[in-house]
Amino acid sequence: MNLDLRTAAVVTSLVGAAVIVAWRVRETRRPVTTASLVAPPLGMSTGFLMFLFPATRVPIAWAIAAFAAGAIFFAYPLIATSTLTREGDVVTMKRSKVFLVVLLGIVAVRFALRAWVEQYVSVLQTGSLVFILAFGMLLPWRLVMYARYRALVSATRG
DSSP string, 103-117: HHHHHHHHHHHHHHH
Beta strands 90-94; 83-87: pairing state = antiparallel
Across the range 81-101, mean pLDDT stands at 82
Q: Which residue has the higher pLDDT, 153 or 12?
A: 153
Are 114 and 50 a contacting pair, CB within 8 Å?
Answer: no
> pLDDT band for position 120 (50/70/90)?
confident
Mean pLDDT of 100-107: 74
Q: What is the pLDDT of residues 34-55, one digit of tens each?
A: 999 999 999 999 999 999 999 9
**In contact, 74 and 102? CB cutoff 8 Å:** no
Name the least confident of 6-10, 64-68, 124-128: 6-10
- Average pLDDT of the segment spanning 128-144: 92
Is the CB of residue 85 less than 8 Å from the CB of residue 94?
yes
The per-residue pLDDT for 29 is 75
Mean pLDDT of the chain: 85
Given a contact cutoff of 8 angstroms between Cβ atoms, the answer to whether 75 and 142 are in contact is no
The structure's pTM equals 0.82
**Sign of CA pseudo-dihedral 130, 21, 76, 37:** negative
Which of the four pLDDT bands, split at 50, 70 and 90, describes residue 114?
A: confident
The residues near 1 (Cβ < 8 Å, ≥ 6 apart) are 9, 118, 123
In the β-sheet with 31-32, what is the strand arrangement from edge to edge?
Answer: 31-32, 90-94, 83-87
The count of residues in the chain is 158
Rounded to 5 degrees, what are φ and ψ at 65?
-65, -40
- The contacts of residue 138 (CB under 8 Å, 6+ apart) are 40, 41, 44, 70, 75
Q: CB-hemisphere CA count at 13 Å for 119?
A: 4
